């Protein structure tokens, strides 16, 4: 799904404050290490060519130098200075990112890693969603950074959206923190960056950065309760009578499980199975019928519903905008 070049997740195209600082530091580090590489490479090339074996070599060793004070001083002090410069520059960026003051206008988000999807909660807004994080854009007049609490429901995961911020792990029984302050609207792709089991590769993340108005509209849509169209009441009954409710929350129904993603506004999301496939009624039907076809090892079982019930269920779920 990343065919569009603007979606390529690269640390060299930052669009957010912490990613920008990390990008500057990476260029600085690359320049220094690139310089060391160039100097060492040229010296080796010079020595290999200038002192190569020639036809008239007498076979004797060249004069050896032992215990040269200036040479030893040079190869001790120069690396020490380089390491100190790199360490101090890195410490400065880490300090800036970790101790960044939290403005009042910041948005609070909780991200909980699961095998293999992301639970996303906005505690102050009462919104719960999955795999697709929506945040407002920040500008100098109205700053709107997003401050995140990172938790895990099972094993270690890692939250990484390269163009927005560095990676931070989600560790069981621990709360980690990170923040981002995107300066451009659009979609940014990321993924779990810590091996967490079979479907680690399909634990994809999407971050939508909106204008303040669009973000408010999204918030209001997510806060609205699904109306429950009478035409799809049969499908709703299917949902409430099968094992769906054990794992999924769906506001306005008896479903309140938290093992799988919240489905209250399922159709407002662009993907299914944490980016495994595009969200559409056809794909949703195929997914419910046999999730492991799209994501082998996925923890959601095949529901084995009769075709009529499956159709009714999908017709109901498709109304959950």
- Two structure tokens written together for 191: 């993924």
Q: Show the site string, 200-219: x = touches ligand CUA by CB under 6 A, - = not.
A: x--x----------------
Tokens 């004797």 locate to: 60
Q: Burial of 243 by CB count in 10 Å (0-12 exposed, 13-18 middle, 19+ buried)?
A: exposed
Residue 121: both structure tokens together: 């909660």
**Residue 46 vs 195, nearer CB to ligand CUA:** 195
Of residues 120, 189, 196, 300, which one binds ligand CUA by CB under 6 A? 196
192 binds ligand CUA (CB under 6 A): yes
Q: Which is nearer to ligand CUA, 97 or 203 (CB)?
A: 203
* C-alpha–C-alpha distance, residues 272 and 257, integer Å: 18
- Nearer of residues 181 and 194 to ligand CUA, judged by Cβ: 194
Q: How far apart are CA 271 and CA 25, in angstroms?
A: 34
The reply to whether 12 sits near ligand CUA by the rule CB under 6 A is no
107-114 and 117-122 strand pairing: antiparallel
Cβ distance to ligand CUA smaller for residue 192 or 244: 192
Burial of 56 (0-12, 13-18, 19+ CB in 10 A): exposed
Which is closer to ligand CUA, CB of 166 or CB of 235?
A: 166
Please select the residue that binds ligand CUA; options are 22, 116, 159, 226, rule is CB under 6 A: 116
3-state class of 78 per DSSP?
Answer: helix
Nearer to ligand CUA, 199 or 262 (CB): 199
Q: Which stretch binds ligand CUA (CB under 6 A): 10-18, 195-203, 224-232, 267-275?
A: 195-203
The CA distance from 244 to 303, in Å, is: 9
Figure out which of the listed residues 195, 241, 302, 304 binds ligand CUA, where binding follows CB under 6 A: 195
- Complex with ligand CUA: residue 137 or 193, whichever CB lies closer: 193
Q: Taking CB under 6 A as the rule, does residue 132 contact ligand CUA?
A: no
Binding mask 70-109 for ligand CUA (x = CB under 6 A): ----------------------------------------
Of 37-45, 191-199, 223-231, 255-263: span binding ligand CUA (CB under 6 A): 191-199
Measured distance CA(244)–CA(256) in Å, rounded? 10
Residue 245 backbone zone (phi > 0: left; psi -120 to 50: alpha; other: beta): alpha
Binding mask 135-174 for ligand CUA (x = CB under 6 A): ----------------------x-----------------
Crossing angle (nearest 10°) for helices 307-317 and 281-289: 130
Question: Which pairing describes strands 146-152 and 127-130: parallel, antiparallel, or unpaired?
Answer: unpaired
Token reading at 244? 């769906």
CA–CA separation, 302 and 289 (whole Å): 6
Count residues binding ligand CUA (CB under 6 A): 9
Q: CB of 155: closest distance to ligand CUA in angstroms?
A: 7
What residues make contact with ligand CUA under the rule CB under 6 A? 113, 116, 157, 192, 194-196, 200, 203
């Amino acid at each position: 799904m990343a065919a569009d070049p603007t979606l390529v997740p690269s640390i060299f195209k930052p669009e957010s404050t912490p990613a920008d600082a990390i990008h500057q530091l990476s260029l600085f580090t690359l320049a220094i290490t690139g310089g060391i590489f160039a100097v060492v490479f040229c010296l080796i090339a010079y020595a290999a060519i200038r002192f190569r074996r020639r036809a008239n070599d007498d076979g004797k060793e060249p004069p050896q130098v032992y215990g040269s004070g200036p040479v030893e001083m040079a190869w001790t002090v120069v690396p020490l200075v380089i390491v100190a410069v790199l360490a101090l520059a890195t410490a400065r960026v880490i300090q800036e990112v970790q101790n960044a003051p939290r403005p009042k206008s910041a948005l609070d988000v909780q991200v909980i890693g699961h095998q293999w999807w992301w639970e996303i909660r906005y505690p102050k807004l009462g919104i719960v969603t999955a795999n697709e994080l929506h945040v407002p854009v920040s500008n100098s007049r109205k700053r709107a950074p997003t401050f995140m609490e990172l938790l895990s429901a099972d094993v270690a995961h890692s939250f990484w959206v390269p163009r927005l911020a560095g990676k931070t792990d989600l560790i069981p029984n621990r709360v980690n923190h990170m923040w981002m302050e995107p300066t451009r609207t659009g979609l940014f792709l990321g993924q779990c960056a810590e091996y967490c089991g079979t479907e680690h590769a399909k634990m994809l993340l999407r971050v939508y950065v909106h204008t303040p108005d669009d973000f408010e509209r999204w918030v209001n849509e997510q806060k609205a309760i699904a109306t429950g169209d009478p035409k799809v009441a049969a499908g709703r009954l299917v949902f409430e009578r099968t094992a769906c409710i054990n794992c999924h929350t769906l506001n306005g129904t008896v479903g309140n499980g938290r093992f799988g993603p919240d489905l209250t506004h399922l159709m407002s999301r662009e993907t299914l199975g944490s980016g495994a496939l595009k969200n559409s009624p056809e794909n949703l039907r195929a997914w419910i019928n046999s999730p492991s076809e799209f994501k082998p090892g996925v923890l959601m079982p095949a529901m084995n519903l009769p075709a009529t019930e499956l159709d009714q269920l999908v017709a109901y779920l498709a109304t959950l905008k």
